[in-house]
Amino acid sequence: MVARLVTLGDSLTHGFQSGAISRPQWSYPAIVARALAEPNFRYAPFDGGGFGGPLVDLELLLRRLSDESRRTELRIWDLPGAALSTIDFMSRVEDYWERGPGTERTDSGPRHHNLGVWGFDVLDTLTLSDAVCYRNTPPATNQLINQIPEFGMYRSARRVFNPSQAPELEELVPIQIARQIATQEGGIETLIVALGQNNVLGTCVRLELEWSQSSDLHKLSHQRSCTIWNPEHFEQLYRRLSEELVSVGARHTVVGTIPHVTVVPLTRGVSPRARARGTDELHEGYYEYYTRFWIWDDTFNPSVHEHFTREDAMKIDSTIDEYNKIIRAAAKAHGFVVIDFAEILDQLAFRRQKGKPTYEFPPGLVQALKDNPATAFRVRPDGTVLLDSRYLTIPERAPQHSDPAEIWQKAYRGGLFGLDGAHPTTIGYGLMAYAVLATLRAAGVPGADPNQLPWKEIVRNDSLVLDPPALLTSLQQTLNTIFSNYKLARAIEKIGGYAAEAMPKPKP
């Protein structure tokens, strides 16, 4: 029986949320498979024994701290207990993925249909296999302070590519696995490929632009330190990728464009000079500086805090535009279908569009929000939907019901991105699935209908939107505490393609 859906990609395809890959069943490929009524779609389990991973599930951690403090903010006397609880949480995650059940085979295979792996860029998809990851992962060490699983991306890739640890699958890179699925399962109806985000996202996680060199084309992930790929190098990689995709022989090959990474709340745009003058903080859609999302406007100091500039942000986005031209050209040359993820995120960009995003939410989602008692307030009487691209914020007290939508938008921010500031919530993944299904329907894929998305189920399973951790009420203080005191900034650095411990930059 033909495999109706196979996917290749990075964290967005894998289903990464809030710093971990603990809910792959709510990745956009898994949601699309539900809508296609495809019961045989397989993906790797990543529950982490209830603690998520193999990085740090910030939602689970904040829930634990919220439950233990029983308050909406961490007081000074809460910090010792919170520190011990955080260390215990991270220790359990580290043990599970480095020495425990996370290293063992699973019965979810023998091959998965979702072959996306968080942290992957285009070159990783061409070079990394189970065996390559195994050979380049050093023995685990039990860290007392920085208890984050080392080489987590490589560990995750092994679980995705070879769940049963079968010798015959050890040396296969994901495209070869897709080719094997096509051969052994009677072909592939739709092959979706969404890659390239991690060829540039490193600029936002490391807040610096380090361009690729020609030598990077021949290095493994852990050997590279570049944060942004030269378009010429990206074109060479994508040409190789496209030729490999043709060899898979899927009936429909669909490629996604790369979203502008400066839109997501992973970095916070600030304009201190403009604020001091009382002038517009945005110039041509960009802020003066971009810094960590836990640093607020009134505390940002360019001589103290890490950042990149407006000019850097514009260069990053213009480079992504070059990447997307390359993707579109490859699609045209090979007859691939294009999903424009970049345009969708641009339409959702709240701050960049000065609070007036142009995206229209699917009617099914709006109705599902209304029907759920926990989210009904998120659809205001004038039709405004309280979901946007800002970092998630909740108030201590809700505004008056009669207050205008603008007041409610100030109180309830975000909802489309999780707590790592880079990856969608379950509802956000639902919007990606909606775009995919609309594209597949236009391409003539049988049974593809965006109106078949199970929006009520999607909303019901978005725990972050339905029931945010209480500590998010004191957002600024909470973020400062967990990222400054508990060294979790290191986990955020890993999500942009540095999960395999990129080589340090040479000293000048």
What does the alpha-carbon distance between residue 217 and residue 214 come to, in Å, rounded to a whole number?
6
Task: Tell how far CA 449 is from the center of its chain.
Answer: 24
* Strands 3-9 vs 289-292: parallel, antiparallel or unpaired: unpaired
182 close to 248: Cβ distance less than 8 angstroms: yes
392 close to 478: Cβ distance less than 8 angstroms: no
174-175-179 Cα angle (round to 5): 115
329 close to 257: Cβ distance less than 8 angstroms: no
**For residue 56, which amino acid is it?**
V
What is the edge-to-edge ordering of all strands in the sheet holding 308-309? 267-270, 289-292, 308-309
Residues in the chain: 508
Measured distance between the N- and C-terminal CA atoms of the chain, rounded to whole angstroms: 58
Read off the pLDDT of residues 18-45 as tens digits, 9 standing for 90 and up.
989 989 999 999 999 999 999 999 999 9
List the structure tokens of 220: 């493994």
pLDDT of 297:
86
54 prior amide bond cis, ω within 30: yes
Name the domain count of the chain: 1
Does some domain include residue 504?
A: no
Neighbouring residues of 163: CB distance < 8 A, sequence distance ≥ 6: 44, 105, 106, 107, 108, 109, 110, 111, 112
pLDDT of 499:
43
The domain that holds 64 is classified in CATH as 3.40.50.1110
What does the alpha-carbon distance between residue 120 and residue 317 come to, in Å, rounded to a whole number?
20
396 close to 371: Cβ distance less than 8 angstroms: no
Q: CB 406: neighbour CB atoms within 10 A?
A: 11
Burial category of 377 from C-beta neighbours within 10 Å (exposed 0-12, middle 13-18, buried 19 and up)? middle
Residues of the chain with pLDDT under 50: 499-508
What is the edge-to-edge ordering of all strands in the sheet holding 252-256? 3-9, 188-194, 252-256, 337-339
DSSP string, 43-91: -----GGGT--SS--HHHHHHHHHHHH-SSS--GGGHHHHHHHHHHHHH
**Torsion sign over Cα 442, 451, 428, 280:** positive
Does some domain include residue 213?
A: yes
Percent of the chain scored above 90 by pLDDT? 77
Read off the pLDDT of residues 270-317 as tens digits, 9 standing for 90 and up.
999 999 899 999 999 999 999 999 898 888 999 999 999 999 999 999
Helices (H), 349-498: 363-371, 405-411, 426-442, 455-460, 463-466, 475-480, 489-494
The conformation of residue 424, written as its DSSP 8-state character, comes to B
Does some domain include residue 247?
A: yes
* Nearest alpha-carbon partner for 404 in 384, 375, 374, 376: 384
What does the alpha-carbon distance between residue 465 and residue 475 come to, in Å, rounded to a whole number?
15
353 close to 392: Cβ distance less than 8 angstroms: no
Residue with tokens 């990856």: 423
pLDDT of 52:
82
* Nearest alpha-carbon partner for 406 in 378, 384, 377: 384
pLDDT of 82:
82
What is the C-alpha R_g of the chain? Answer: 22
Helix (H, G, I), strand (E, B) or coil at 408: helix
Read off the pLDDT of residues 454-471 as tens digits, 9 standing for 90 and up.
999 999 999 999 999 988
Entry pTM: 0.94
Does some domain include residue 499?
A: no
Does some domain include residue 501?
A: no
What does the alpha-carbon distance between residue 391 and residue 480 come to, in Å, rounded to a whole number?
14
- The mean predicted confidence, pLDDT, of the chain is 92
What does the alpha-carbon distance between residue 173 and residue 164 come to, in Å, rounded to a whole number?
16
What does the alpha-carbon distance between residue 12 and residue 123 come to, in Å, rounded to a whole number?
17
Q: CB 250: neighbour CB atoms within 10 A?
A: 24
pLDDT of 485:
59
What does the alpha-carbon distance between residue 96 and residue 52 come to, in Å, rounded to a whole number?
9
Read off the pLDDT of residues 401-411 as tens digits, 9 standing for 90 and up.
999 999 999 99
Q: CB 439: neighbour CB atoms within 10 A?
A: 20
Range of 227's domain? 3-494
What does the alpha-carbon distance between residue 389 and residue 352 come to, in Å, rounded to a whole number?
10
pLDDT of 55:
86
Does some domain include residue 500?
A: no
What does the alpha-carbon distance between residue 426 and residue 16 come to, in Å, rounded to a whole number?
10
Helix (H, G, I), strand (E, B) or coil at 489: helix
Helices (H), 70-221: 79-98, 122-127, 130-135, 152-161, 174-184, 202-206
